[in-house]
Structure 1
Amino acid sequence: MQSSLILKTATFLLAVGLCAFTFIQTLPEAEMVTYTVDPKTQHVQLFWKDDAGQIVKSIQNLKNFVESKNAKLLFATNGGMFDSDYSPHGLFIQNKVKLTKLDTASGQGNFYLKPNGVFYLTDDHVPVVCQTTEFKEHTSIRYATQSGPMLVIDGQIHSAFRQGSKNLNIRNGVGILPDNKIVFAMSKNPINLYDFASYFQKLGCKNALYL
């Protein structure tokens, strides 16, 4: 019997597999597409490499890999920063195996626009978005990806973002809703970081992370 999955991928292919119903909401007035996930009833998975240790690299490859597991790809999107060799930039944990370590250095680009953060899921299906400085590694973490910058921090928009900024790009991110469900959002058109963060804030996310 084929199971249905919604997969969230990073460019290095980070995937979210959902075994049950997922609510899909399109908000044309906000120019966003959002996917809401209940981790208590839906399985969330992050992928970078397949079972043979090969980098998945493309959504088509991910689709083929998922279908080889008798599952179906329903949704895929970017899930974090990556380097030129398609390796994750910063922490990446796949099925309880830490493949790359936490990056606490300073540098240029979105990843290093502090505070940056980590999105992770535990064995008990608890989703968390936290600042990198607050992340504590423990054995119950099943999946994790580090990215940056944080979009919403304790209910407030990142202080470096400016309303009316002309820095426009297609963007995606992840936040935790008040009911502890996960919301993934992607802009349908170029948008600045302030407006993108504001979208998560209006949904009620206390913390949200740019992917």
Structure 2
Amino acid sequence: MRNVTVWIWLLFVAAPGWAVDCAALKFRGQGYTACTVDVRHDDIRLFLRAPGAAPYGDFSALNAALAQQNLTLSFAMNAGMYHPDRSPVGYYVEQGMTQMRLLTRASGGNFGLLPNGVICVTDQTIEVIETLKFKARNLACRFASQSGPMLVIDGALHPRFLKDSRSRYIRNGVGMRAGGRQAIFVMSNSFVTLHEFASFFKDHIGVAQALYFDGNASRLFAPQLGRNDPGRRMGPIIGTVVPKP
């Protein structure tokens, strides 16, 4: 009996970590992949580059760097817009260090289609917050990335989204639920409009706050689904890490 007890205890302490739950979903004829991260037991981080090095750019390079710490990704996706040198367009915090300031003014492109927002990971929460509300709250983020536009604001779709838009891309973004304890990361599996994508967050998974990441460089790493998407080299990457098995 003692040997059985010890074996169970070893399984518990040696477990590689909590697996992120990812699922393929359908909504109004379109396919989506949604991955749920829970800050209470998932180790979620943002990554841009190793100290003094070029940005990672893809999941394989990031995983190679993590392997040196005996870690591996259990989920990841691109997390915000970036310049040609892959530096973040807006506010960016990694390991508590601010690398780019918060931008609050309207500008060109989707990022500047106000309101935009911030994903902020603290010691106890993972929140999606409209930029001006984020500025007023002065949260101490361990990790943060600003992107835009907001998809859902206080339960309503972004007011500038057009139901009959012809602009269709593979898109990805994130929504917040469970009082900031969980984040739902979503990738469309087909070309969708911003209105369709935002409606998935609002009407299908029922989140009150959701933020757009991108529509040109959307990529997902979800080994539980056999996905390690190729594509353009990325700027900021958000992901969960677990000990290497």
Flag whether TM exceeds 0.5 (same fold).
yes
How far did residue 175 of structure 1 move? 0.4
Q: Deviations over 1:1-52 (max 9, x none)?
A: 9975xxxxxxxxxxxxxx4122111114541001001111111100011144
Partner of 1:207: 209
How far did residue 143 of structure 1 move? 0.6
Asked whether the 8 Å contact 1:2–1:72 carries over to 2, the reply is no
The residue correspondences of 1:39-118 to structure 2 (distance < 5 A) are: 39-118=39-118
Asked whether the 8 Å contact 2:120–2:145 carries over to 1, the reply is yes
Partner of 1:130: 129
Q: Deviations over 1:124-154 (max 9, x none)?
A: 2x11111111113646310100000000000
Amino acid at match of 1:58: D
Give the number of the structure with larger relative contact order, counting CA–CA contacts within 8 Å between residues 6 or more apart.
Answer: 2
Unaligned runs of 5+ in 1: 5-18
Tell me, in whole angstroms, the C-alpha distance in 2 between the residues paired with 1:134 and 1:57.
31
How far did residue 178 of structure 1 move? 3.9
Asked whether the 8 Å contact 2:20–2:35 carries over to 1, the reply is yes
CA gap of 1:139–1:150, structure 2 versus 1, over 3 A, is closer
Partner of 1:34: 34
CA gap of 1:3–1:53, structure 2 versus 1, over 3 A, is farther
Amino acid at match of 1:24: C
Unaligned runs of 5+ in 2: 1-12, 214-245
Asked whether the 8 Å contact 2:151–2:158 carries over to 1, the reply is yes
Higher strand share: 2
CA gap of 1:192–1:2, structure 2 versus 1, over 3 A, is farther
Higher helix share: 2
Matched residue count: 196
- Cα root mean square deviation, aligned: 1.9
TM-score, normalised via structure 2 length: 0.75
Q: Sequence identity of aligned pairs in percent?
A: 34
Partner of 1:12: none
